[in-house]
Structure 1
Amino acid sequence: MTQHSATAEHGHSIPGAAPVPAAVPRIALVGVHGFGERHLANLARLEEAGVLELVAVADPNPPAPGRLKDSVAVFPDLDRLLAAQSAANAPADVVILATPIQTHAPLALAALGAGMDVYVEKPPVSSLAQFQEVLAAADAAGRLVQVGFQSLGSQALPAIRSLVESGGIGDVLGFSAKGQWVRTKAYFRRSRWAGKRSLDGTDVVDGVATNALAHAVATALRLAGAHTMADVAAVETDLYRAHDTESDDTSVIRVRTAQGATLLCGLTLCAPEQLDPSVTLHGTLGEVTLFYTRDEVVITTADGERREAYGRTDLLENLLAARSTGAPLLCSLPDTGAFTTVLEAIRTSPAPQAIRPDHITWEGAGDDAHPVVHGIADLIERASKAQATFAELGVPWARRLPPVRSLTVDGTAVADYQDGSHIRAVSSPRPYLHPVRTLGGTVVTDHQPLDHVWHLGVGVALQDVDGVNFWGGRTYTREAGQYIWRPDHGSIAVTETPVEETAAVSGSPGRLRERLSWNGPDGAPVLAEDRTWTWAGVGPSVWSLSLEFALSPAGSKPVSLGSPGSNGRHEGGYGGFFWRLPECRYATVWTPAGSGEAGVHGSVTRWLAWAGKFDGGKDATLVFVAPHDATDPWFVRVDGYPGVGQSLAWDAPVIAEPGKPVRRKITVFVADGILATSDIDALINQGDPA
């Protein structure tokens, strides 16, 4: 049930352990197989050191002959163990519960009722109601309950807290936990309860986040400052499975703490290879990552990378110290309230959705067979960076989130309008179009890609609006001469229902006109925008999309619209209209005057074309057309990432004055197939769209 032992696995020695009371504690172990074997080894170590005495074990399947001392009583279950000890007037002081998840709460209640302190393996319970019941019983009995999240005994945790408090990684932007393990069919056949959400009407809540990689969740919560139920403001679940089970094996859990932090857990049991799980604190000046199974910390800043190894306090030793000296428990039951809140959210979530077989490859045979979800490592990395769920990322096997509205041409959906409400704050949430498709269905946009998770399909964004970042990510400043993280991110939101909305039908364009508010980090309006999308069919394989926007100061003073280019970054003048393309093979980009990224980036021409193979090898062409009098240079990236924009402030800011809005317009032809320059000229001349 737990991924590794604490003291026994790490070889921590007994010198330096807490003082032992005069009466050596008597210990009973319930469950001697599976993880119970680890407890037996640890108990033998501590008993040899004179710290405790193992007096009894309980398991319906007794331990092998010779495994225990003759003095250790063996019982088939806890009830008979308690009855025998009560009759002999020699009760154990502490009981360790290393049993199936669904038995934790009833066994803990029985032990507490008998006056024993409890060490219960994770997860401590299988519902929030059970948590509250066991918590009340412990309070009433005046007994201690330690939960077996061994990673919380790591001395790396206080070291990381000290590093963060000293400003070692700047301001914390968020937390992430990543776990990529391999679990075979045999893993889910090892017991009746494995892979079950419930068994015979009793909650089990087995799963990647609640059991197999529960330490990742618990450790991340602890580092995020979430201990109790009150420390959790919200939990969002996105649960999937590749195995033929009830429980989830590939999931994203997003937790928002009461202190305003966001924790994103990306976990799978369907990785191509088993990797050490980790928890990362993302800061404005660097990152600190804890590989909790080996108590190793990696600190990455502008000065480079350094690694530090730490010891670990055994949780049973800590429980014994708490009994004798009053030392605080490292993982008390109340301090797992935050984790139990996550468990409850998973318990009450809809059943995990099966991942389609075409997105899975099975490796191995028989009981050793295990599924590998295609591209899962990159998806977990992308989810962690974007603080987004698989569904929000638009992963093809994930649940589909409905768009705010769809743009259609003669009934064919060509673009989805997203309101951006799920986008993390430091990516500057804003409305955008994604996915945008050709009439043949080829997707020609990307959003929240791994290289720049703040790139959002097609829309309008600026990195410097009177010092507010409406682009997302780090900000380039003239003073720093580089990109730096600043708490300067704004957001763009629609202020009312659409002013005008019509659908595109044969011979008639569709139109969406709306008013938006560009709000600063404090929520105060900085700009007001009037935005209009217009779209129409052009031919059997081409449709057009036009965007017009006008930016006006929200108040009575002028507002400066700038870019990294206007702040000193050479040829870094992006901002305004921007189209993020997906991966594109054999990409070709050209204008009437040149070709290739070097030949078109920064140029001012009437049109710019991009052609290549998208979406699994389908040919498509995008033609970006500027108005006749446009002077904004094209911003183009091909090699680093695929993107095209019109630079509103190439190397100098543009000023929006009251009563004099900054206006821009662009039209894009979206075509199946590869267009030639003659085809492009014909399209533009056909209706002269700009």
Structure 2
Amino acid sequence: MTQPSIATTAEGNARLPRIALVGVHGFGERHLQNLARLSADGALELVAVADPQPPAGGTLGSDVEVFASLDELLAAGTSPDVVIVSTPIQTHAPLALAALKAGSNVYLEKPPVASMAQYEDLMAAAASAGRLVQVGFQSLGSGALPAIEALVASGDIGDVRGISATGLWLRNKAYFKRSRWAGKRSLNGTDVVDGVATNALAHAVATGLRLAGARTVADVESVDTDLYRANDTESDDTSVVRVRTAGGIVLTCALTLCASLQSPPSVTVYGTRGHLTLFYTEDRLEITTPDGTRSETFGRTDLLENLIAARTEEDLLSPLGGAGAYVSVLEAIRTADSPRPIHPDFVTWEGEGDSAHPVVHGIESLIKRAALGQATFAELGAPWTASGGPTLDIHGVPVATLQDGNHIRATSSPRPYLHPVRTLAGTVVTDHVPEDHVWHLGAGVALQDVDGINFWGGRTFTREAGAYVWRKDHGRIVTKSAEHSDGQRREQLSWLAPDGTPVLREQREWGWAAVGHSAWKLTLDFTLESATGRTVLLGSPGSNGRPLGGYGGFFWRLPKVSDATIWTPDARGEDAVHGSVAPWLAWSGTFDAGTSGAAHVTGDPGLGHPATLVFLASPQAPDPWFVRHSGYPGVGLSLAWDAPVAADPGHPVHRSVTVLITDGFLATQDIEQLMTTLGETA
């Protein structure tokens, strides 16, 4: 229904829009300030407010009527053109329904409703009444949004690879004591659904959805939730919500109210040639392309002014009909299991009394990794989550966890791998989804070029470009079957092209056993066989022209290591060892990842644990060592250092690798003695 932009009197003279505000405390005070500004500009008339607790004396003009409730306000014949609802979450829907029934347009604060059922009722009521409902997602009034849409459409950042919304805020105990409904999922049987994603940082979610092209319920294909709390509340305060749109875009919202320092929240659009980051509270956009980074600041249209001027829903910047995708997220959170408490060993409280606020250990890095890797906290293996698959146990102690990789984003080439891998004392010696290369996944097998398909993840180095470029060439490795027993695991894997066609068949076998009291041995044996009936070429950036870039095959991503020493029997240091052929390679240092996981909740943060890894070369071929330390810590045996290797039909490619995982620092003499004990050739 078409709405008049300016009301008229019975005599036909134009009059100012009549506004009523329900809820004058909390965020309602912001509305009072805005109404005072617009009234002074002659844009509207505030005729009434409603609140069980009247505003302080002198806050309102003498001509503004004050009521205890919206029902009283409407019964008095006030007849507002617009009713602003700025009240507790659980009251939004009934108050908006009452205002629509009375013939008013509605400005409804976020979140607009507390359930999908309420949303559907409100949509039907607005349509029946022929009235407009604007939802108070102020960030959707930013001039940056159409600018971002134009930049994406122009191809400045290439094809969109995904979107993230991140928020690092802190809220103290007083925040959750400000009202009866704060921090509640329900109140006296009524849905509230307060939480970091549904209320405190709801603008991050709503802005991310808008940029992902998700407005209606139908625009959302799926919602994954991973909800936690450090506060003594019902609602979540540290969560990841991952949304897949019907258009195939993945939006990952990584949010917390438990940061050490508060920073501006942001939404980032990742492209194949650059990215766009909007700091929506500042309307500031950072644009990064191959030409560099520049920043622009935009204006913002006031949503109340927009509602007053609007004649149809299409004129609204934040219409109720465009909030369906957001309500789909809220509904997923409402119906999810209650947020899991974060173990106190991973939380530090700062401040005193009601000013105290929790800080989740390492949350800044986890938020960044979740956003970059499109991963949940559980998938990242945050130590306060319950995650992981089958374990490798030695004397009842888990020393490694098998990940099937199914949750890994498509552009990281999903595949099975081991993480975390631990020493017998519990020191973690692998990493996965790290900030610098989110496609690095623990310990396993990966190749960047298998007949032109990327089974490594990330960008692909091509001879034509002479550089790394984003391509839609990512394959995935899936487990077809597995036999798991004490000390041994056999797997049948299938390497699938982007269209799902099998390219390789892999037989993989893991073996593990103790070696004394402070060391254990891990073996990996893998055979790659053509699944196409023809020769399949196994290559690398090195075989495609990148000097010294022959990584691929066995690869082990390490966590942060301090004072690292890297050596072989004949060389020492990253540069000397990289590309060399040697029977073993050792890496020792202080592993700052330390202990983690539910089995190691001891209060020990796990910083500063010495360990040594000894990698034994494959006996099948003299593959060079691939070593990185200065850029990131990683070790591999290069299957195709500077030329591809052929997997011919009936002639598979076979390699085996052994890794000795020890606590403490080892010297060359210790390594040679250990290898002699195992019957290995030093």
**TM-score, normalising length: structure 1:** 0.93
Determine the C-alpha separation between the residues in 2 that align with 1:266 and 1:437: 27
Which of 368-377 and 383-392 deviates more? 368-377
Is 1:483 equivalent to 2:475 in the alignment?
no
Query: For 2:151, which of 151, 163, 180 is the aligned residue?
Result: 163
Map 1:110-509 onto structure 2 (within 5 A): 110-323=98-311, 328-397=315-384, 399-403=385-389, 405-495=390-480, 497-498=481-482, 500-503=483-486
Which runs of no fewer than 5 residues in structure 1 stay unpaired? 1-17, 504-509
- Give the SS at the match of 2:310: helix
Separation in structure 2 between the aligned mates of residue 613 and residue 25 of structure 1, nearest angstrom: 68
Rounded to whole Å, the distance in 2 between the matches of 1:182 and 1:231 is: 32
1:686 aligned partner: 677
Query: 1:19 and 1:302 mapped to 2: Cα distance?
Result: 48
1:39 has 2:31 as partner: yes
Aligned to 2:499: 522
Q: Describe the SS at the equivalent of 1:462.
A: strand
The Cα offsets for residues 650-673 of structure 1, whole Å up to 9 and x where unpaired, read as 111111111111111111112222
Partner of 2:551: 574
**C-alpha displacement at 1:636, in angstroms?**
1.0
Partner deviation per Cα, 1:309-332 (whole Å, 9 max, x = no partner) = 211111111111224x77521111
SS at match of 2:214: coil
In 1, distance between residues paired with 2:430 and 2:299?
48
Give yes or no for the alignment of 1:665 onto 2:656.
yes
Show structure 1 runs of 4+ deviating over 4 A: 18-21
Kindly provide the amino acid, as one letter, of the partner of residue 63 in structure 1. Answer: P
SS at structure 2 position matched to 1:547? strand
May I ask how many residue pairs the two structures share in their alignment?
A: 658
C-alpha deviation, 1:502, in angstroms: 2.4
Aligned mates of 2:193, 2:451 — CA distance in 1: 50
CA distance in 1, matches of 2:556, 2:619: 20
1:57 to 36, 49, 54: 49
Sort the Cα spacing of 1:627 and 1:72 in 2 relative to 1 into closer, same or farther, 3 A: closer
1 CA distance for matches of 2:624 and 2:561?
23
Question: Is residue 2:63 matched to residue 1:76?
Answer: no
Task: Provide the rounded CA distance (Å) in 2 between the counterparts of 1:137 and 1:326.
Answer: 14
- Spell out, residue by residue over 1:171-202, the C-alpha distance to the aligned partner (whole angstroms, 9 max, x if none): 11100001111212221111111111111221
Q: Tell me what 2:609 maps to.
A: 618
**Contact 2:620–2:655 under 8 Å retained in 1:** no
Match among 622, 639, 647 for residue 631 of structure 1: 622
Deviations along 1:509-529, one digit per CA (max 9) or x if unpaired, are x22222211111111111111
SS at match of 1:635: strand
Query: Equivalents in 1 of 2:42, 2:328: separation in Å?
Result: 38
Q: CA deviation at 1:78?
A: 0.5
SS in 2 for 1:624: strand
1:578 shift after superposition: 0.5
* 1:640 partnered with 2:631: yes
Q: Give the distance between the partners of 2:393 and 2:238, measured in 1 at CA.
A: 34
**SS state of the match for residue 514, structure 1?**
strand
**Structure 2: distance between partners of 1:166 and 1:644:** 40
The Cα shift of 1:533 comes to: 1.4
**What is the match of residue 560 of structure 2?**
583
Q: Equivalent pairs: percent with the same residue?
A: 67
Q: Secondary structure at the match of 2:411?
A: helix
Q: CA deviation at 1:383?
A: 0.9
- The 3-state SS of whatever aligns with 2:164 is strand
Larger mean CA deviation between 91-100 and 360-369 belongs to: 360-369
Cα drift, residue 603 of structure 1: 0.8
> How big is the shift at 1:340?
0.8
Q: Please say if residues 492 and 518 of structure 1, whose CA atoms lie closer than 8 Å, have aligned partners that are also in contact.
A: yes
CA contact (8 A) 1:20 1:51 kept: no
Alpha-carbon shift at residue 598 of structure 1 (Å):
1.7
In the alignment, which of 482, 501, 514 is matched to residue 537 of structure 1?
A: 514
> 2: CA distance between counterparts of 1:152 and 1:617?
46
Give structure 2 stretches of 5+ with no counterpart.
9-13, 595-606
Shift of 1:23: 4.0
Structure 1 distance, partners of 2:629, 2:679, is 27
Which residue does the alignment assign to 1:13?
Answer: none
SS in 2 for 1:133: helix
User: What's the secondary structure of 1:612's corresponding residue?
Assistant: strand
Deviation of 1:488 after TM superposition, in Å, equals: 1.0
CA distance in 2, matches of 1:19, 1:109: 23
- Residue type of the partner of 1:99? T
Shift of 1:20: 7.4
TM-aligned CA deviation for residue 301 of structure 1: 1.3
CA distance in 2: counterparts of 1:272 and 1:673, whole angstroms: 33
The one-letter code matched in structure 1 to 2:447 is: L
**Is the 1:620–1:673 contact (alpha carbons within 8 Å) kept by the matching residues of 2?**
yes
Letter in 1 for 2:338: A
**What amino acid is aligned across from residue 81 of structure 1 in structure 2?**
L
Give the 3-state SS of the residue equivalent to 1:281 in structure 2.
Answer: strand
Is the 2:381–2:388 Cα contact (8 Å) retained in structure 1?
no
Contact 1:607 1:623 in 2 (8 A): yes
Q: CA deviation at 1:291?
A: 0.9
Cα separation, 2, equivalents of 1:613 and 1:658: 45
Task: Tell me, in whole angstroms, the C-alpha distance in 1 between the residues paired with 2:485 and 2:105.
Answer: 68
Question: Residues 494 and 476 (structure 1 numbering): CA distance in 2 closer, same or farther, change over 3 Å?
Answer: same
CA distance in 1, matches of 2:306, 2:287: 28
Residues 528, 554 of structure 1: 8 Å contact kept: yes
* Distance (Å, rounded) in 2 between the aligned partners of 1:158 and 1:627: 55
Matching residue's letter, 2:469? I
Deviations 1:113-148 (A, max 9, x none): 112111110000111111111111112212111111
Q: CA RMSD in A?
A: 1.7
